[in-house]
C-alpha cells in the first residue's frame, strides 16, 4: 500500500485500476483510501481532494469501533448472529437469513414511521399520499411531487430523535418541495436544532454505509 503526505499527515492508499471515466476516492473506516482509477498516477487527484479526505478521516476517528463490528438498530449497537428465528432476544439480534432480516427491519421501521407520520401530519397540516421504504445508496429520505414519501431502509439504524427529524423534514416538503427559508421555518418549529441533527446524520451515514452487515443487506434480496 502506498502513502501520501497531506498537511503533515501520512495517509495510506491503494489504487484499484478499472476502465472508469472519472477517478473516485473512498475513505475507508480503517483509515486508508481506496482510489478507483484508469491510471496509477493519482497523487495530484488525491491532493486536490485533501480537505475532504482529512475531514472524513477525522469523522471516522470519532466513531467507536463497535459501530463497524456490531449491528446498529435505533441508535444502539447489537451483537448479531444467525439462528432459527429472526428478532431481538436478550439484547442480541438473531436472523435466519438475510431476506428474513430485511423483512424484519422493514416491519419495525414502518411501524415507527407510521406512528410519527400520524403524530406530525395534523401539526404540519399535510399528509403523504403513500409511504415507501427503499434501499437507497445516496439519501436518507425523499418527497415526490405526487406527495409520496420514501425512506431509506437504513433509517432503522438511527437514534429515535434523528428518525423523528427525518419524518418532519420529509413532511415539510409536502408544503415546500425545496430547501427554502420557509421550509426550514417549518422544520425548526419541531426541531430548532436541525443544523446539529443534519451533522449527526452525516456521521451516521458513514457508520451505516460502512457497516459490514448493512453492506450485505444492501446487496441482497
Reply yes or no on whether the pLDDT at 68 is more than 90.
no
pLDDT at residue 31 in the model: 86
pLDDT band, residue 5 (cuts 50/70/90): very high
Query: Quick one: which of 201, 196, 191, 200 has its CA closest to 123?
Result: 191
Task: Give the mean pLDDT of the chain.
Answer: 94
Name the residue ranges covered by the structural domains of the chain: 2-62, 98-219
DSSP string for residues in 55-105:
HHHHHHHHS-GGGGTSEEETTEEEEEEE-SS-EEETTEEEESSHHHHHHHH
Assign 217 a pLDDT band (cuts: 50, 70, 90): very high
Q: Which residue has the higher pLDDT, 112 or 64?
A: 112
- Model confidence pLDDT, tens digit, residues 149-191: 999 999 999 999 999 999 999 999 999 999 999 999 999 999 9
Residues 221 and 219: their CA atoms lie apart, in Å, by 7
Please say if the pLDDT value at position 221 is more than 80: no
Can you tell me the mean pLDDT for 29-42?
A: 91
Q: What's residue 47's pLDDT?
A: 96
Task: Answer yes or no: is pLDDT of 195 > 80.
Answer: yes
67, with CB counted inside 10 A (0-12, 13-18, 19+), is buried
pLDDT at 63: 85
For 10-33, the DSSP string reads EEEEEEEE---SS-EEEE-TTS-E
* Cell numbers linked to 62: 470519532
Q: Give the 3-state secondary structure of residue 120.
A: helix
b (16+ CB within 10 A) / e for 93-117 = bbbeeeebbbebbeeebbebbeebb
**Phi/psi at 125 (5° precision):** 90, 15
Higher-confidence position of 65 and 71: 71
- pLDDT in the model for residue 146: 95
Give the confidence band of 64 by pLDDT, cuts at 50, 70, 90. Answer: confident
Q: Is it the case that residue 60 has pLDDT exceeding 90?
A: no
Beta-bridge mates of residue 149: 131, 143
Q: Are 9 and 54 in contact (CB under 8 A)?
A: yes
Instruction: Tell me which architecture the domain covering 98-219 has in CATH.
Output: 2-Layer Sandwich (3.30)
**pLDDT score at 16:** 95
Percent of the chain with pLDDT over 70: 100
Amino acid at each position: 500500500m502506498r502513502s501520501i503526505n497531506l498537511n503533515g499527515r501520512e495517509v495510506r492508499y491503494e489504487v484499484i485500476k478499472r476502465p472508469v471515466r472519472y477517478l473516485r476516492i473512498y475513505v475507508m473506516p480503517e483509515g486508508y483510501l481506496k482510489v478507483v482509477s484508469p491510471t496509477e498516477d493519482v497523487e495530484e487527484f488525491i491532493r486536490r481532494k485533501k480537505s475532504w479526505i482529512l475531514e472524513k478521516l477525522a469523522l471516522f476517528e470519532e466513531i467507536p469501533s463497535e459501530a463497524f463490528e456490531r449491528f446498529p438498530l435505533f441508535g444502539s449497537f447489537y451483537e448479531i448472529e444467525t439462528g432459527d428465528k429472526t428478532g431481538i432476544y436478550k439484547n442480541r439480534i438473531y436472523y435466519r437469513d438475510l431476506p428474513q432480516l430485511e423483512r424484519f427491519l422493514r416491519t419495525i421501521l414502518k411501524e415507527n414511521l407510521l406512528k410519527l407520520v400520524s403524530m406530525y401530519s395534523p401539526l404540519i397540516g399535510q399528509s403523504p399520499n403513500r409511504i415507501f421504504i427503499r434501499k437507497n445508496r445516496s439519501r436518507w429520505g425523499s418527497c415526490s411531487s405526487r406527495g409520496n414519501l420514501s425512506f431509506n431502509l437504513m433509517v432503522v439504524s438511527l437514534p429515535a430523535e434523528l428518525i423523528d427529524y427525518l419524518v418532519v423534514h420529509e413532511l415539510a416538503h409536502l408544503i415546500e418541495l425545496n430547501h427554502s427559508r420557509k421550509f426550514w421555518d417549518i422544520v425548526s418549529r419541531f426541531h430548532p436544532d436541525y443544523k446539529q441533527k443534519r451533522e449527526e446524520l452525516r456521521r451516521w451515514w458513514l457508520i451505516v454505509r460502512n457497516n459490514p452487515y448493512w453492506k450485505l443487506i444492501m446487496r441482497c434480496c
